[in-house]
Chain A
Amino acid sequence: MIGYIAEQLFIGVATGAIYAIIAVGLNLIFGTMNVLNMAHGSALMIGSFGVLLFNYVGDRYFGYTNFWLACVCGLIMAFFTGLLVERLAVRPMKGNWWNTKIATIGMAFILENLVTVLTEGRPQLYPRPFEPTYYVILGDLDNPGLWLVEISNIHILLIGMSIVMVAGMVWFLYRTTTGKAVRVVSQSQEIARCIGIDVKRSIVVGFGVSATLAGVAGILNGVTFGSTYSFIGLQLLLKGIVVLIVAGIGNMRGCLWVGIMLGIIESMSVAFGESTYRDFFSYGGMVLILIWRPWGIFGEEGRVTREV
Chain B
Amino acid sequence: MSDANDTILKVEDLEVRYGNVVAASEISLEVRKGEIVALLGPNGAGKTSVLKAIMGLIKPSKGTVEYTDEKGTHRIDGMETHMMARMGIANIPSLETVLPRMSVEENLEVGGRFLFKSDMPRVRKRMETMLERFPILAERRKQLSGTLSGGEQRQLAVARGLMAEPKFMLLDEPSLGLAPILLRELFEMLRDIKNDLGVDMLIVEQNVNKALEIADRAYVMRIGAIDFHGPAKEVAQSERLKDAYLGS
Binding site for B on A (CB under 8 A): 177, 180-181, 183-184, 187-188, 190-199, 250, 300
Taking a contact as CB atoms closer than 8 A, the residue among A177, A198, A250 that contacts B101 in the complex is A250
Contact A177 B82 (CB under 8 A): no
Contact B110 A184 (CB under 8 A): yes
Binding site for A on B (CB under 8 A): 55-57, 80-82, 85-86, 90-93, 96, 98-102, 106, 109-111, 113-115, 117-118, 160-161, 163-164
Contact B114 A190 (CB under 8 A): no
Specify which chain B residues have a CB less than 8 angstroms from the CB of A191 in the assembled complex: 93, 96, 98-99
Specify which chain B residues have a CB less than 8 angstroms from the CB of A187 in the assembled complex: 99-102
Contact A177 B114 (CB under 8 A): yes
Q: Tell whether A188 pairs with B82 under 8 Å between CB atoms, given A177-B113, A196-B115.
A: no
Specify which chain B residues have a CB less than 8 angstroms from the CB of A177 in the assembled complex: 113-114, 117-118
Q: Tell whether A197 pairs with B114 under 8 Å between CB atoms, given A183-B102, A187-B101.
A: yes
Specify which chain A residues have a CB less than 8 angstroms from the CB of B90 in the assembled complex: 194
Taking a contact as CB atoms closer than 8 A, the residue among A180, A183, A195, A198 that contacts B164 in the complex is A195
Q: In the complex, what's the smallest C-beta–C-beta distance from B117 to chain A, in angstroms?
A: 7
> 19 A-B Cβ contacts within 8 A?
A177-B118, A180-B106, A180-B113, A184-B110, A187-B100, A187-B101, A188-B96, A188-B99, A191-B98, A193-B81, A194-B85, A194-B91, A194-B92, A194-B161, A195-B82, A195-B163, A196-B85, A196-B86, A199-B82
Specify which chain A residues have a CB less than 8 angstroms from the CB of B55 in the assembled complex: 194
Q: In the complex, what's the smallest C-beta–C-beta distance from B238 to chain A, in angstroms?
A: 33
Residue of B nearest to A200 (CB): B80
Residue of A nearest to B100 (CB): A187
Q: In the complex, what's the smallest C-beta–C-beta distance from A203 to chain B, in angstroms?
A: 13
CA distance A177 to B113 in the complex (A): 7
Q: In the complex, what's the smallest C-beta–C-beta distance from B211 to chain A, in angstroms?
A: 21
Q: Tell whether A195 pairs with B115 under 8 Å between CB atoms, given A184-B110, A187-B101, A250-B101.
A: yes
Contact A194 B81 (CB under 8 A): yes
Contact A193 B82 (CB under 8 A): yes
Contact A198 B80 (CB under 8 A): yes
CA distance A194 to B91 in the complex (A): 6
Contact B114 A195 (CB under 8 A): yes
Residue of A nearest to B92 (CB): A194
**New contact pairs (17) apart from A184-B110, A187-B100, CB-CB < 8 Å:** A177-B114, A177-B118, A180-B110, A183-B99, A183-B101, A187-B102, A190-B57, A190-B93, A190-B96, A192-B82, A193-B81, A194-B81, A194-B93, A195-B110, A195-B111, A197-B82, A198-B80
Residue of A nearest to B144 (CB): A300
Q: Which 7 A-B pairs have the closest CB atoms?
A: A193-B81, A196-B85, A196-B114, A194-B91, A188-B96, A187-B99, A196-B115
Residue of A nearest to B87 (CB): A196
Specify which chain A residues have a CB less than 8 angstroms from the CB of B102 in the assembled complex: 183-184, 187
